[in-house]
Structure 1
């Protein structure tokens, strides 16, 4: 999983070895040319090109987009969800004469909602719920809809919102619970004060037993005022992007879980995500252990996802499990009946979305409040599977069944968890051979990768499968990351005939429950804000245009320097032993030798892992520690050979040999036996973010000593394992900071000139629009500009769009794009007669 990384652009330029001139703050402007064939026409851009990807990660649903304020409302939390959980998580007694316990017995409300709260009273007694973050947010004067399912032999119940000390923040709501059958009671609570630390407090009085379940508190003001609806500020930020589609419900959430069936025990924890669990009355929906380490209520279910997509004018794009695990797991079902059940479930899902009200699942949709179809056109099968052959065999069965019943539905395959590698290559081979309509690609890479790979899709087969870039991001939330993503997006638009859909990921992150970063929108229980990437995504998504206009820009001058750096040894969830380290220069001079006959005084430790000299070898013995790198040598070394003997002792993976080490965030390493010892690769880290340079299927045997040699010459590297050449590469891609694309908005008659300048120098640019168009003299300008390390937070958003006018437009004119900026120029242009 990703950790927070800090990108320093000046360090980045030096680390590349391909230094872009100029790069220092306050540098003289760099001169560029941009030639536009204004009367020309490139690829058409679909309205749905840019969308959003929603996954319940970082508490994106419960405690996030789902407006429910009560955590663990049905008392279903369990240690299977999280080791710290129990049935009373987020609840606490408020004192009085009584006792409380969570019960799972025949008195339950239904088979899916198995647990409930039993209160035995001998007077007045109460419990309080702390919600999410620091508590429940209420705002003075606002209304909150309360509901509870209860049964008793007759007892009054009071609900209100208090502060942590028990002082009332709202008018009390009094309910008389009558009868020993489960009954839903509702009412409205009006807040008298504003607070972010509120508690929903329930008090009962009398003698006897009160049973409670599905305790709920919703703000009246949900998005579009829908009951069981979405948190307004988060939904509004998503809607403001004007997304063309919503991909849901994941992600790794889709194709992971302890099993895929419905067999008894019917609601075993850690089931895969199955859409039928998520529809119908909320009190009858299951809860589940979330892949990301918490409980998910399914309060946002498939109906709500479809409804939300419709509300924001987006195409719904659900993803269903293919019965092959992904996201670091490697398992495929061998049960034909189970596979057929899931295929039928997928057919039923399409009927739920599109079927007439006379059909079984169309009637269910209508009963939930939406008689009209949701107009589903695309569906994804699977997500980041690591077993390409097994996945594809099952995908084909899904596709054949869907196309036989619903030939108009586009069925989307995928290419695994990365932008390259053995799995990626094999899946693309299978997808092309079988003429799959669309392939979902995912990758999270360093800012450098995004600057280097702008032409990634230029060489894709125009007649092959189309690309759905379902997940991508640069590995931090600083403005420099957003700039490099924006630079990359110019390449996506230029290739809009191949890249038909694209979505940054993940979408949401609650600041107190973060499993992954970077993220597009951040929030707590009372406010939300867009990251710097949100602002760049929004600028592109709301200024797409109808088609590409051919254009060409000059490049930034570069200076080539050799790969240089110290060396390192590391492990990842593995114990390993190293010996006989030798560094020799290209002319044969010995630079460094280490046989570990003494101490490890020449090695610098990171503080991770347990390193010690043992019997003349250097041993890392902690099998749980990750990235335990120790380093030695001179960061200025270049043109050298590294020799080392390495042995895996125990653990999940193999060993890692680093070279070209500048510091802890900037290096190359040869990862032998990585990814749970399923493959090997050379990876390059820049600013802490890694990318894969060359993958290979090599695995590592425990207890066997391997001879490793790495030869570095200039920017060329060759790698040898046990005397045999394993592979090699030349790291000579240029991280071009000046990128552009031009599109046309046929509705307004404007050219949209989109320029990204991801460097610390202004870009003085001569723009030639050609002689075949009449142009207006004034351009509408939108600019995002800031420092590379700028971060948007709850308290300050330095990266925001600035609107202005530029009055010097002509067929040929000069515009200076500021350092570290994204600029959109909207220029009126019509063809000459």
Structure 2
């Protein structure tokens, strides 16, 4: 040891004799924009297998012409004017010769009343959905028809293009006798086309009666007869959803009261009745769809249960509560009808879960599924605006269900909005009644989702659990999907409260759209996932079992700005007069004034070029009662941050009330005070950010406007605070002062794989240098990273899908590591713990 010391000392002395050299300082590590700190020793909320699911509603032609694989439109000739004013029994068909639809005593059955009478020689041709019947070369297509004939002459079945080019060898079917029988055959496509036509021809003499003319691809999802379109079902299955909510939506709770056809005393335009949708397809009813078209019920409750089982998801049916919503505010006053619906719900549970020897279990078994489906939950109602009537009915449903099936979770709801009087009222009732789960719905702007990541942080941990049954950011761009992704981190962080969540709607036929945005788009032979589909898929395939608590520091938050801009006037399916508009500063200085006494509106211009605006009798009037969003704005922009708007408004005709826009920046960025909206039942403050379609509600309350009455309206703006005064009384107020946070994160653990899943959303347009501190937890130096990134204005379309996940192996990981996350990105890191 002494010798070692001596050598060391000598070396030190030798170094001391050398000229002094100073090493350059090490470059300082860049300061991260964000630091995520994980506490691996703490235990966060458990995440159930049903955390994320899908919501199927027959909107946007999602069933017939969509997920349901039937290729023939109006196959049973049941289209009616009650479904759509343009419909007839031959909608979807073209004819040659004598071909008429008939509803008489020779009908197929009481639920399938209208049939085709074909007097030969004659033919009918069906072009299916979108551009035609889609077939692929070499694939088999199963044709069937219910028919009877007084001549016994054959039918010829052919597939061809509109120009007559054959797509398959024709099929000949001989009808044997004048009683209804089912006939079937198979066509093999000899070419590929998305514009085929199916033709049924009677070449002989005599009369043929035809019904349920059907053509199905043999290659359905899981090969099931009466099955599902394979590519669409596969896209849903690829999400690995934990539940399937069906069949709606507004489809369920509208039309809950039967409407009878006076001529036949046959119910039409009724709400979705599950018993109409089971049993043989030829004996199922058709019905008017709330969204303006016919629904065949070929895709019915049995198929919903079967599909849920096929993809490993829990079924969640929604039954009507006999209180309408979705802009239709009525409640049944018929106790017998209410009791019938309650019994229908009990029968539904028996259909799903009962033994094959029970009444409704026997129906299920005869359809091919003797084993119970294992239903565990039922939702009663959807978005009702009459909280007193709805909740009284809900309690009756719950009492009856729990008495017979105590293990079934009965789900209530909180109305159509994320806040407001109805929302608060229903939540109070649900808490007081000990409801197990409450269904919330909301569609808001991307900024709302970025501002409300903490929405469920303050919910009562001991109160009812939340089922977020419908939500979406109101556009289809990648920025909307980024906002949804950021919000989903808050859902997971609060998985002890939010037990289930579903983006909505699920499907949209590109040629038949009633609602945007939508998750999966399709035509008759192609399908593609939106950018939100890619976000949902990433989250749903990387859920984890438990939240690992974490915090984030740093940030680039966007502070709220004072409300400034132009002042406007508008109506929605209403005629109205506006007068004596004035904008003043708090000290009385007039910033804008127009009493329209000069007979013109030279200082006003359209923001939305709709409606008929004229100056009449010293007032600015809009007279078109059908026009929506008829916004006009004053030329003068208000730059002051504190100001008052006053005016007089009179409704002269129409369905709704007034819209008073303010803070107008452009056609897609503004606020408006909506009085007498939603068919003159509600009022709200709505805010559009970037798109008129992307409105969020900052304030909502019940409200009506009386035709012919003049109202004195006043809007007091103080920076971000607004007070609304009607006829001298405060109507409401709000403060649009929320901070927008473009960065969000959550960490979960996958017990099965032993991995930590770090999920980070950077919704800003700049990269984010991010440090991750795992609190000493040891992980392998390599991990798997999946990133969704791109231009926030991009959309996935039929022609291009620019936003797709990229998965790679990353190195240099440890208990602490730093990575630069791309601008406008969602990043998932799966880290294997050691």
User: Structure 1 length normalisation: TM-score?
Assistant: 0.94
8 Å Cα contact 2:558/2:740 also seen in 1: no
| Runs of 5+ unmatched residues, structure 1 | 1-27
Q: 2:731 aligns with which of 709, 726, 729?
A: 726
Change over 3 Å in CA distance of 1:573–1:262 after alignment to 2:
closer
Which residue of structure 2 lines up, in the alignment, with residue 160 of structure 1?
158
Backbone CA RMSD of aligned residues: 1.5
- Local SS of the residue matching 1:68: coil
Give the Cα separation in 1 of the matches to 2:236 and 2:701.
40
Give the Cα separation in 2 of the matches to 1:665 and 1:136.
39
Q: Does 1:780 align with 2:784?
A: yes
8 Å Cα contact 1:29/1:762 also seen in 2: no
Which residue of structure 1 lines up, in the alignment, with residue 23 of structure 2?
none
8 Å Cα contact 1:716/1:728 also seen in 2: yes
Q: CA deviation at 1:205?
A: 1.8
Give the Cα separation in 2 of the matches to 1:402 and 1:576.
49
Q: CA deviation at 1:755?
A: 0.5
Give the Cα separation in 2 of the matches to 1:698 and 1:199.
52
- Local SS of the residue matching 2:78: coil
User: Equivalences for 1:600-639 in 2 at 5 Å?
Assistant: 600-605=601-606, 606-632=608-634, 633-634=636-637, 636-639=639-642
Q: Does 1:135 align with 2:136?
A: no
Which residue of structure 1 lines up, in the alignment, with residue 115 of structure 2?
116
Q: CA deviation at 1:637?
A: 4.0
User: Equivalences for 1:325-344 in 2 at 5 Å?
Assistant: 325-344=324-343
Q: Which moved more, 1:337-346 or 1:583-592?
A: 583-592
1:77-118: CA deviations, max 9, x gaps? Answer: 11111111111111112x4xx411001111111111101111
User: Equivalences for 1:495-644 in 2 at 5 Å?
Assistant: 495-554=494-553, 555-598=555-598, 599-605=600-606, 606-632=608-634, 633-634=636-637, 636-644=639-647
Give the Cα separation in 2 of the matches to 1:29 and 1:385.
51
Give the Cα separation in 2 of the matches to 1:77 and 1:680.
37
Give the Cα separation in 1 of the matches to 2:31 and 2:87.
57
8 Å Cα contact 1:566/1:637 also seen in 2: no
- Local SS of the residue matching 2:775: coil
Give the Cα separation in 2 of the matches to 1:394 and 1:438.
16
Q: CA deviation at 1:560?
A: 4.8
Which residue of structure 2 lines up, in the alignment, with residue 34 of structure 1?
36
8 Å Cα contact 1:635/1:662 also seen in 2: no
Q: 2:718 aligns with which of 697, 713, 734?
A: 713
Q: CA deviation at 1:267?
A: 3.5
- Local SS of the residue matching 2:457: helix
Give the Cα separation in 2 of the matches to 1:262 and 1:677.
27
Which residue of structure 1 lines up, in the alignment, with residue 144 of structure 2?
147
Change over 3 Å in CA distance of 1:693–1:559 after alignment to 2:
closer
Change over 3 Å in CA distance of 1:786–1:100 after alignment to 2:
same
Give the Cα separation in 2 of the matches to 1:557 and 1:696.
31
- Local SS of the residue matching 1:159: strand
Which residue of structure 1 lines up, in the alignment, with residue 430 of structure 2?
431
Q: Does 1:762 align with 2:767?
A: yes
Q: 1:676 aligns with which of 654, 674, 679?
A: 679
8 Å Cα contact 2:378/2:408 also seen in 1: yes
Give the Cα separation in 2 of the matches to 1:29 and 1:410.
50
Change over 3 Å in CA distance of 1:820–1:30 after alignment to 2:
farther
8 Å Cα contact 2:259/2:269 also seen in 1: no
Which residue of structure 2 lines up, in the alignment, with residue 5 of structure 1?
none
Q: CA deviation at 1:203?
A: 1.4
- Local SS of the residue matching 1:503: strand
Q: Does 1:403 align with 2:402?
A: yes
Which residue of structure 2 lines up, in the alignment, with residue 180 of structure 1?
178
1:661-719: CA deviations, max 9, x gaps? Answer: 11121111111222222222211111121111122334222222222221212212222
- Local SS of the residue matching 1:456: coil
Which residue of structure 1 lines up, in the alignment, with residue 452 of structure 2?
453
User: Equivalences for 1:343-492 in 2 at 5 Å?
Assistant: 343-492=342-491
Change over 3 Å in CA distance of 1:99–1:258 after alignment to 2:
farther
Which residue of structure 1 lines up, in the alignment, with residue 227 of structure 2?
229
Q: Which moved more, 1:567-576 or 1:317-326?
A: 567-576
| Runs of 5+ unmatched residues, structure 2 | 1-29
1:473-499: CA deviations, max 9, x gaps? Answer: 001111011000001100100000011
Q: Which has the larger radius of gyration?
A: 2
Give the Cα separation in 1 of the matches to 2:230 and 2:410.
32
8 Å Cα contact 1:29/1:763 also seen in 2: no
- Local SS of the residue matching 1:241: coil
Give the Cα separation in 2 of the matches to 1:614 and 1:204.
64
1:766-796: CA deviations, max 9, x gaps? Answer: 111112x211111210000010111101121
Which residue of structure 2 lines up, in the alignment, with residue 56 of structure 1?
58
Q: CA deviation at 1:371?
A: 0.3
- Local SS of the residue matching 1:692: strand
User: Equivalences for 1:163-312 in 2 at 5 Å?
Assistant: 163-257=161-255, 259-260=257-258, 265=264, 267-312=266-311
Give the Cα separation in 2 of the matches to 1:159 and 1:724.
71
Q: Does 1:686 align with 2:689?
A: yes
Q: CA deviation at 1:266?
A: 5.6
- Local SS of the residue matching 2:525: coil
Q: 2:652 aligns with which of 642, 649, 653?
A: 649
Give the Cα separation in 1 of the matches to 2:628 and 2:827.
41
Change over 3 Å in CA distance of 1:557–1:177 after alignment to 2:
closer
Give the Cα separation in 1 of the matches to 2:561 and 2:211.
67
Which residue of structure 2 lines up, in the alignment, with residue 23 of structure 1?
none
- Local SS of the residue matching 1:254: helix
Which residue of structure 1 lines up, in the alignment, with residue 22 of structure 2?
none
Give the Cα separation in 2 of the matches to 1:617 and 1:99.
59
Which residue of structure 1 lines up, in the alignment, with residue 12 of structure 2?
none
Q: 1:793 aligns with which of 786, 793, 797?
A: 797
Change over 3 Å in CA distance of 1:152–1:29 after alignment to 2:
farther
- Local SS of the residue matching 1:822: strand
1:625-661: CA deviations, max 9, x gaps? Answer: 1111111121534321111111222222221212111
Give the Cα separation in 2 of the matches to 1:326 and 1:162.
45
Which residue of structure 2 lines up, in the alignment, with residue 25 of structure 1?
none
Give the Cα separation in 1 of the matches to 2:177 and 2:681.
60
Q: Which moved more, 1:739-748 or 1:553-562?
A: 553-562
Give the Cα separation in 2 of the matches to 1:446 and 1:202.
50
1:382-427: CA deviations, max 9, x gaps? Answer: 0111111001101110000000000000000111111111211111
Give the Cα separation in 2 of the matches to 1:547 and 1:111.
53
- Local SS of the residue matching 1:634: strand
Change over 3 Å in CA distance of 1:258–1:392 after alignment to 2:
closer
8 Å Cα contact 1:437/1:465 also seen in 2: yes
Give the Cα separation in 1 of the matches to 2:561 and 2:630.
29
Give the Cα separation in 2 of the matches to 1:267 and 1:44.
50
Give the Cα separation in 1 of the matches to 2:80 and 2:233.
29
The size of the alignment, in residue pairs, is 797
Give the Cα separation in 2 of the matches to 1:697 and 1:527.
44
Change over 3 Å in CA distance of 1:304–1:29 after alignment to 2:
farther
Give the Cα separation in 2 of the matches to 1:266 and 1:186.
33
Give the Cα separation in 1 of the matches to 2:77 and 2:201.
17
Give the Cα separation in 1 of the matches to 2:65 and 2:232.
11
- Local SS of the residue matching 1:487: helix
Q: Does 1:106 align with 2:110?
A: no
Q: 1:89 aligns with which of 80, 88, 91?
A: 91
1:363-386: CA deviations, max 9, x gaps? Answer: 110000000000000001101111
Q: Does 1:747 align with 2:748?
A: no
Q: CA deviation at 1:263?
A: 10
Give the Cα separation in 1 of the matches to 2:56 and 2:194.
26
8 Å Cα contact 2:93/2:125 also seen in 1: yes
